[in-house]
Structure formats: structure tokens, C-alpha cells
Amino acid sequence: MGDSSEAMKEEKTLKQKVVSSLLWSFLQTALSNGISIITSIILARLLMPSEFGLIAMITLFIGIGNVLINGGFSNSIIRSSELDTEEINSIFTVNFTLSILVYSLMFVLAPSIANYFHQPTLILITRVYCLIFVFNALASVHTAILSKQMDFKKLTFANLPALVISGGIAIILAYLGFKVWSLVYSALVQSIIVFVQLWFLSSFKPVLMFKWHKLKSHFHFGYKLVISGLLDTLFMNIYNLIIGRKYNSTELGYYTRADSLQMYPVNIFSSIVNKISYPLMSQIKHDDAQLKSTYQKILKLVTYIITPTLLYMMVMAQPLFRLLFTDKWDNAVPYFQILCITGILYPIHSYNLQILNVKGRSDLFLKLEIVKKICFILVLLISVNFGIIGLLYGSVLNSLIALFVNTYFSGSLILYSLKHQLVDLLPILILAIFTMIVVYFWDQFQILNISTSNLFRVFTSSMIAIILYLSGSYIFKFSSLRELHKLKTV
């Protein structure tokens, strides 16, 4: 009886901790993305597509630098049951040292990057922008420790001021005519403020030291994730390399605007859950039944929110772009509509990969990444011959391939196959598609008979979409709607 009572208390404590963490994570993510979206909208009105394209040309190198600096150690810190001071300080020392080396490399490579894109201004842009490596490295261990402790309250207090201040600086500089440099200085200011805040808020006070025997287990887990991360970063940004080189910075600006907008809802809802799901599932990794049940709820909840959101944005893409960014971004609309399909698929294959990490199968994670990248290259070699639209449809095909590959292996670990996942998600997909068909015909009716105002079209269509989708969810008793209601009433 005593053991049962203790177990119930522990379960209740864990649930309370998860709910508290989820609420703070939601607050941080909602406010962070809200600030980012508002800043992005204002900057898109003040700056030209070509200026966003210039930053997009170096995102691959920024991504590679961040992967190398992190070294997979952050995930290793979060999943480790016990950590001592020497371990954490050794990880911090390695991260900081790597940041200096990586920045030095980018400084030297800057002229070559500029030559590749035929953009001489990229030399100085790269050398200034890449300074964020050092500040990101100084904050990475603090972030991992707070994430492991599920202390998202402190992470919220560290990140929000940085976003507000850096966003304000970007807008002021753009208004004053600093053009692309408003984006560069904003990114640098944000990384500095986050670093300062985390050092102030966290109890971890680093000391430079290096103990290889303390790092061995983290290295063996992390290096496979580094290789996977490098591959993933390369292939996620390969369109930037091709479009920036083959076309120009303006077309690349259209593409990156379309891609970032479709990723906003994905990032908002996925990142809220990701911060909780990985630490939570790591705690129950040895109980496959509970792990499957938890994963099932997470997948359905994220799909329930993201799928109708992206389908709505796809249907209402033109008035949405004109309302937010003005008609100078019209050329980005078809790119955006295609990319929304990949956004819908992303949570499914992304969360399946989390299972591999939770189970400590970074070896399988790496093998799957290699297989997917080989398929990616084959699809890319064909689709590149059909222009930017062909490249984007190729990305949809690659997303489908990733879905099958990821779910096949991760599903076998917890006995939750792709077939069973799709069966669980099918009612959500059917209701979302039906809702957006109604929204499409309503919008066509508005154009012909009521109003062509972008604001009116977006507002009335969104109201119809919300009412139809929630009503259908209630009538058909969707479990995801009940899960949302539970979070509201906790």
C-alpha cells in the first residue's frame, strides 16, 4: 500500500511538473513567435526581398557552425541520468573552443562564399554575422541544463527580452536605411543578450577544464548526432545554395519568405511540445507501452493543430501575403502553397526520430539520415531541371520518403507502425480537408459577391474555418480536443 501511495505521489508530481513546464514552454514559444512574426512582417514591409535573400545565402554556414559547436552534447546532457560538475565543465570548454575555431574558419572562408554567390558584400556580412557562434556556445550548456530540469520559466525570462530588444533594433535600423545590416546586427544583439541573461539566471557557473574520460560517453552518443545534424543542415539549406547561385537574391528572398511563413505554425506548436516531449519521453524510455501511449497523444495533438492551420494558409495564401507583406511579395505565393504540404508532413516524421534518440539509437538515426540523403540527391538531380517550382515539388516527394523511412524503424521500436499512425491521424486529415474545401468556395463567393478586401477575406474565412473545424471535432469526439481542454482546465 505504501509503495502504491508513493508511486501515485511521484506520478502526480511528474504530471504537475509537466503541466507547469508545458505552460511556461507555451508562454515562451507563443510570445517568442508572436514577437518574431510581428518583427518579420514589419521588416518585410521595410526591406526588399533581395536583402532577405542575402542572409539566406549564409544560413547554411550558420547552421553548420551551430551544429559543430553544439556537438550533440546538448541532447546528451538532457538524456543523461546523472551529471557531475567535471562533465558539464568539460562540455562547456569543448563548446567554447569549437566556437572560436569555427568562427576563424568562417572568417577565412568568407571571400569564397561571396565568390560562389557573386555577392562581394557577403564577405563582411559573413564575418560579422558569424560572431554569434561564440555567444551561442557560451549559452548552450546553460540552455541544456535548464531544459533537462524542465525549467522553462528561466528560459522564457532569458529569451523574451532578447527578442524584443533585437527586434526593435532591426526595425529602427531598417527604417533608417541600414538595409541588410539591420538583420545582421539584430541577430548579433539577440545572441549576446540571451548569453548574458542565461549566465545571470542559471546556477551553473562554468570553469574551463577538459577531462576526456568524462566526455567519452557524451562524445560517442553525440558525434553521430553531429554527422546527422550536418547532413540535415546541408540538405535543408541546399535549395538556398541552388536558388542563390542559379537565380538571384530576389528569388531566394521569395523562397525564404515562403518557407519561413509556412514554418511559423510548425515551429510554434512543435517547439512547445518538443521542449516537453523529449525530456518526458526520456524519463519513460524503458516502458514501451507508456512511451507509445505518450507519443501517440503528442503526435495526434500536434497534427490536430498544424494540419488545418497550414491547409487554411494554403487556401488563403494570396490575400494573406498581401495583407501581411504587401503585393511586392506576390511571387512567393506559389512557393508557399507547395511548401505547406511539407509542413503538414514534417511533425510526423520529425517526432518519429525523437523515439530513436530517446532509445539511445543514435547509430540508427545516422544510418537513416544517410539513406534519406541519398534519396534526396536523386530527387534533386531530377527536379532541378524543372525550375524553382520543380525543386519545391521535389521537396514534397523527399518529405514523403522521409515519412516512410523514419516511421518504419522508429515504429518498430514501440510497435507503432506508419499504418497505425495514419489510421489514428486519418479522421483529423479528413475533417481538415473538408473544412478547407468549404473555406475555398466561401472565399470565391466573397470575391464575386461581397468584398475583395484582403482583411475581410482573411477574417471571415478564418472564422468559418475555426467554427467548422471545432464543431466537427466536438461532434466526432476527437481525443485531441479533449487533451486541449484538459490543459486549459489544469
In this predicted structure, the answer to whether residue 1 has a pLDDT above a threshold of 70 is no
What is the model's pLDDT at position 11?
54
Confidence of residue 10 (pLDDT cuts 50, 70, 90): low
Range of the domain at 123: 30-236
Same domain, 199 and 69: yes
Rounded to the nearest 5 degrees, what angle is found at the Cα of 379, between the Cα atoms of 375 and 384? 145
Out of 54-68, 301-315, 470-484, least confident range: 470-484
pLDDT confidence tier of residue 269, bands split at 50, 70 and 90: confident
- For 377-424, how does the pLDDT look when each residue is reduced to its tens digit (9 = 90+)? 999 999 999 999 999 999 999 999 988 888 888 778 888 888 888 899
Give me the pLDDT at residue 283, please. 77
The pLDDT value recorded for residue 489 is 46
440 in the same domain as 367: yes
Same domain, 361 and 407: yes
Q: Specify the pLDDT at position 360.
A: 75
Which of residues 188, 204, 236 is at a domain's end? 236
* Most confidently predicted of 133-147, 166-180, 189-203, 468-482: 166-180
Contact 180, 123 (CB under 8 A): no
Residue 1 covered by a domain = no
265 plus 210 within the same structural domain: no
Q: What is the pLDDT of residue 17?
A: 57
First vs last Cα of the chain: how many Å apart? Answer: 27
Please indicate whether residue 151 or residue 114 has the higher confidence score (pLDDT): 114
C-beta of residue 389 within 8 angstroms of C-beta of residue 338: yes
More confident site: 336 or 141: 336
pLDDT at 9 over 90: no
Q: Under the phi-then-psi rule, with left for phi > 0, alpha for psi from -120 to 50, and beta for the rest, what region is 451?
A: beta
Q: Could you say which of 206, 236, 266 is where a domain stops? A: 236
pLDDT band at residue 443 using 50, 70 and 90 as cut-offs = very high
Q: Residues 66, 102: one domain?
A: yes
Q: Is residue 10 part of a domain?
A: no
Torsion from C-alpha of 466, 18, 150, 168, nearest 10 degrees: 20
Q: Is the pLDDT of residue 96 over 80?
A: yes
Q: What percent of the chain has pLDDT over 70?
A: 88
pLDDT band, very low/low/confident/very high, at 282 (cuts 50, 70, 90): confident
Domain-ending residue, one of 236, 269, 299? 236
Does the pTM surpass 0.75? The reply is yes
Kindly give, in sequence order, each residue whose CB lies less than 8 Å from that of residue 43, ignoring residues fewer than 6 positions away. Answer: 170, 171, 174, 182, 183
Give a yes or no: residue 25 inside a domain.
no
> How many structural domains is the chain composed of?
2
Give mean pLDDT, residues 480-486.
70
229 and 295: one domain? no
Assigned domain for 22 exists: no
Task: Indicate whether 201 and 295 sit together in one domain.
Answer: no
> Does residue 87 surpass a pLDDT of 70?
yes
Q: Is the pLDDT of residue 266 over 90?
A: no
Model confidence at 53: pLDDT above 90: yes
Above 70 in pLDDT, residue 213?
A: no
Tell me: pLDDT of 73 over 80. Answer: no
pLDDT at position 7 is 53
Q: Which three cell numbers stand for residue 484?
A: 486541449
268 and 128 part of one domain: no
Give yes or no: residues 226 and 271 share one domain. no
Shared domain for 221 and 314, answered yes or no, is no
Tell me the mean pLDDT in the region 301-321: 94
Higher pLDDT, 213 or 203: 203
Structure confidence by residue, pLDDT tens digits, 336-380: 999 999 999 888 877 777 788 787 777 787 788 788 889 989 999
CA distance 188 to 130: 8
Kindly state the cell numbers that stand for 90: 568539460
12-43 pLDDT tens trace: 555 565 666 666 666 777 788 788 889 999 99
